[in-house]
Amino acid sequence: MSRSIAQTPYEERQSTHPLSAYLYRLMVVKESNLCLSADVSSARTLLRLANSIGPSIVVLKTHYDIVSDWDSDVETGTGAQLAALAAKHGFLIFEDRKFSDIGSTVQKQYTDGPGKAVEWAHITNAHILPGAAIVSALADAASAWREKKKYEVKTDITVGTPRPESLSEDDEGKDDEDIKNLKALQARRKASIVSITTVSQSYEPANSPRAPIPECEEDVIFSKIEEAPLDRGLLLLAQMSSAGNLLDEAYAKACVEIARNNKDFVMGFIAQETQNTAADDQFITMTPGCQLPSGEEQRANSDGLGQQYNTPKKLIGEKSVDIIIVGRGIIGAADPVTEAERYRRKGWEAYTARISA
Question: Do 134 and 244 share a domain, yes or no?
Answer: yes
Give tens-digit pLDDT for 218-265: 567 899 999 999 999 999 999 887 778 888 899 999 999 999 999 999
Q: Are residues 100 and 71 in the same domain?
A: yes
In a domain, 8, yes or no: no
Residue 339 belongs to a domain with what CATH number?
3.20.20.70
| Residue 337: inside a domain | yes
Give the domain-ending residue among 205, 221, 248.
205
How many other C-beta atoms lie within 10 A of the C-beta of residue 97? 21
Does 328 show up as a binding residue in the annotation? yes
Query: Residue 23 — very low, low, confident or very high, per pLDDT cuts 50/70/90?
Result: very high
Q: Are residues 261 and 188 in the same domain?
A: no
**Same structural domain, 275 and 259:** yes
Residues 109-138: tens digit of each pLDDT: 999 989 999 999 999 999 999 999 999 999
Within a domain: 4: no
Confidence of residue 153 (pLDDT cuts 50, 70, 90): very low
**CB-hemisphere CA count at 13 Å for 145?**
23
pLDDT in the model for residue 184? 52
* Same domain for 73 and 31: yes
Domain count, the chain: 2
Angstrom CA distances, 231 to 64, 77, 141, 313, stand at: 20, 21, 12, 32
| Residues in contact with 334: Cβ distance below 8 Å, sequence separation at least 6, in sequence order | none
318 lies in the same domain as 249 = yes
At residue 5, does pLDDT exceed 80?
yes
Confirm whether residue 327 is marked as ligand binding: yes
Q: Are residues 126 and 230 in the same domain?
A: yes
Query: By residue range, what is the domain housing residue 130?
Result: 14-146+210-356
**Crossing angle between the packed helical segments 103-111 and 133-149, to the nearest 10 degrees:** 40
239 shares its domain with 313? yes
pLDDT band at 191, cuts 50/70/90? very low
Strand stretches in the chain, DSSP E: 34-37, 59-62, 92-99, 123-126, 151-156, 200-205, 233-237, 266-270, 284-287, 323-326
- Residues 102, 44 within the same domain: yes
pLDDT band (50, 70, 90) for residue 169: very low
**Same domain as 331, residue 221:** yes
- What positions carry a catalytic annotation? 96, 98, 101
The per-residue pLDDT for 242 is 78
If one compares 200 and 336, the residue with the highest pLDDT of the two is: 336
Of 164, 190, 205, the domain-final residue = 205
156 is in an annotated binding site: no
pLDDT mean across residues, the chain:
83
Is residue 9 domain-resident? no
97 lies in the same domain as 235? yes
Residues 37 and 52 grouped into a single domain: yes
The answer to whether the annotation marks 61 as part of a ligand binding site is yes
